[in-house]
Structure 1
């Protein structure tokens, strides 16, 4: 809110009370004077107490003096939405101010999506950027520059009591967004010759395109990604995920994100918005896709999925390490049990991933095909949502006797992979089965599926004993 001067200030000058024009003029002047005082105080802080310039500064920041100087210096900068210097800092050529709402609307993402809500950038002499900060001052949600462009008479009156002087200053300030000179490219700029005619051998059949950096769009992308990555809402959502708790909103991830630094140690030499970003500009990952063959193939003409499971690289490695460890005949200590359990945990985690791939990547009901010869417990395990259309299958699945059957088959399979030189038998088989059925990851996956299937919440284990 802008604090207006009390009406008594105007009474002595003969102004009528409650005059909206006078109120707005004085509100603008309050805003301008406050800005100039802040600039004056900032300059004073940088000067030693005995510097003679301290006595001269107040006159430089009087409203009329500073505005006259600013109107002269504004020609050193230009408001743009598409700039050249980010392409090459030494390039000299045309920058453009194209309001996003004036651009052609199309389905692809571009500057046009910003509409009326965008940040204009400024290029030119960094020493004159304070003029742009002045023009960005807002009252009632509208900047001074927008007020000048709209022909706000109260703003003109706030700048100067001399109407001609105010008009000259406004003409200079609004020149900030006007094109300057004829469009020109540069040897250090990007340039593309685009064939627009039929004869590629004729130079006249080409248009020269000079792509510019979409500065306003890049700034919105930067702000959006920063909020997604470091904002409080995103942090809370990520923490909820780590805590395995629900959260009302999600969060965004940006894999393969890169940061391009523009301007080195002087980002202000590129543009105002680049300076506000400290030279940081995000580049979204645009790597070519890597072709991957379908990882999951249906299990045809086999009675068990475990031979396929045993072909997984992590499974082969874990079994090899477990076998070597057991063959070393370790002492029956807590350390031995922990190490054995660590190898077993790898196998159980891989088994849960293995089953999830079949459940999620193959079409529901694939086990009903004639080519599927899996044992019934494994069909119930790997194709649970077949129960949605097969009543007999649903009855058997909800009976929940099959998890124990999977544990029994897992135990037999693991024994067969380990007992080449190890005396393993029924006791070990039952232990492997028990480890599977009480594993937290296995139980959590099964519990999640049971909730979807409205099945009983217990798991029978008698067949594994």
Structure 2
């Protein structure tokens, strides 16, 4: 490692601090004296307590990377980004210690007893040792403590406890944030989306994160939570953990009655709305608005019937003939056609009549006045749909 390059980075950093507050420190050595004294106010961690609650106290925790992890955790990060908690006014000390050159950080060198990057700022060994001793305080931390507002849950096992609710994994959160941000807003991601917008060919891959959520910590003062939280402006990404929506495997109905039972389950909400609508208008006279609304409900029911029939027609041919309780020949020709069978107009009307009877029977549970007159209405309303049904079935066959 080049000591000069890290010393140069330290020099640039302290120069910026002196320029920001020229009246507070006169030399770089004075700034380092002050920084070494304030170092004990901060702690280097990978897990921070204030993400759980802003008033939570505790020292946090630091987990180093481990080989052979089989699941995602902070330990699975080879080189976790170190977070800093403590007095927000001392975060400038943290930024100094986390300065890096040639793959080495100042804090790592101090841990190993190497003070060479700081030697360029003093000729006195006593002063250099005092800097190293002060900065080493961030590695010691205080006694292991937690806090009620950290909301950790411990479960007693044998002679100890098992932690069920760990502290917020700040380093892991930061790694996730960087990965997602690069995939969404990196130069390659922008170029890929620009090519897609122009509808041009490209070898670039677009990475998307469905249902991505964003959580904020710290309000207007994210630095009070942690250093990494401040660098993210208080933002953290949440990936969706919703379970997948499984589609039930389509199976053949066991009988004609079972067919209508399954269909009724599918259209139950529509059927309830139609029944409620007709109940409200039980004493009202028919008009065009009522007829159109009623026809709309029936159209929805008929559309669902067509969709269900289309699904059943995708099953292996002959399923209706192997049923223990076979359906009528008309229904078999409709739902399970063989040898390019086509429904006749009479058969299509028979299906429509069965639909009308089914609908009447369901409505009569709440509307006693529904009878043959209404059946005539359903048939008249269905006549238009039946013509479309016949055309579709002929196209499917």
TM-score normalised by structure 1 residue count: 0.57
> Aligned in 2, Cα 1:344/1:35: closer, same or farther, shift over 3 Å?
farther
In 1, the alpha carbon distance for the partners of 2:350 and 2:207 equals: 40
Say if 1:267 and 1:301 are closer, same or farther in 2 by CA, change over 3 A: same
2:48: which partner in 1?
83
Structure 1 counterpart of 2:384: 431
- Cα distance, 1:186 vs. partner? 5.0
Asked if the contact 1:81–1:121 (Cα under 8 Å) also holds between the matched residues in 2, the reply is: yes
Counterpart-to-counterpart distance in 2, 1:157 and 1:224: 37
Q: Which residue of 1 aligns with 2:30?
A: 65
Whether 2:121 is the aligned partner of 1:179: answer: no
2:91 pairs with 1:129 = yes
Give the distance between the partners of 1:93 and 1:462, measured in 2 at CA: 69
Conservation of the 8 A alpha-carbon contact between 1:194 and 1:206:
yes
What residue ranges of structure 2 are gaps of 5+ in the alignment?
Answer: 197-203, 361-370
Structure 1 residue 70: Cα displacement? 1.9
The Cα of 1:65 is off from its aligned counterpart by 2.8
Find the aligned partners of 1:128 and 1:140 in 2 and give their Cα distance.
26
2:295·2:381 contact (CA, 8 Å) conserved in 1? no
Deviations 1:113-150 (A, max 9, x none): 2232x322211111001122233334455544345557
Cα 1:40–1:349 shift into 2, 3 Å:
farther
Q: Tell me the alpha carbon deviations over residues 403-449 of structure 1, each in whole angstroms, 9 at most, x when there is no partner.
A: 999976664444443784244587754411344578xxxx8xxxxxx
Residue of structure 1 equivalent to 2:324: 371
Matching of residue 314 in structure 1 with residue 269 in structure 2: yes
Q: How many residues align?
A: 366
2:25 aligned with 1:34, yes or no? Answer: no
**1:309, 1:315 within 8 Å by CA — same for their partners in 2?**
no
Aligned with 2:66 (options 101, 104, 125): 101
What is the aligned partner in structure 2 of residue 155 from structure 1?
Answer: 117
The answer to whether the 8 A contact 1:81-1:97 is kept is: yes
Alpha-carbon distance in 1 for matches of 2:144, 2:277: 73
What is the alpha-carbon distance in structure 2 between the residues aligned to residue 403 and residue 135 of structure 1?
A: 85
Q: Which residue of 2 aligns with 1:305?
A: 259
State which drifts further: 180-189 or 403-412.
Answer: 403-412
TM-score (norm 2): 0.64
CA contact (8 A) 2:6 2:100 kept: no
2:223 paired residue among 250, 263, 268: 268
| Pair 462,126 (structure 1): closer, same or farther in 2 beyond 3 Å | closer
SS of residue in 1 equivalent to 2:84? strand
CA shift for structure 1 position 277: 4.8
- Once the two structures are superposed, residues 298-324 of structure 1 have per-residue CA deviations (whole angstroms, 9 ceiling, x without a partner) of 521327834542453123146548979
CA distance in 2, matches of 1:347, 1:309: 9
SS at 1:100's partner residue?
coil
Q: Higher RCO, 1 or 2 (CA under 8 Å, sep at least 6)? A: 2
Give the superposition deviation at 1:263.
4.6
- Could you say which residue in structure 1 is the equivalent of 2:394? 460
RMSD of aligned C-alpha atoms? 5.4
Contact 2:255–2:323 (Cα < 8 Å) also in 1: no
1:346 aligns with 2:300: yes
SS at match of 1:300: coil
Measured after TM superposition, the shift of residue 78 of structure 1 is 0.7
Moved more, 149-158 or 427-436: 149-158
Equivalent pair of 1:71/1:172 in contact (CA under 8 Å): yes
Displacement of 1:77: 0.5
Q: 1-side partners of 2:130 and 2:332: how far apart? A: 84
What SS is found at the alignment partner of 2:326? coil
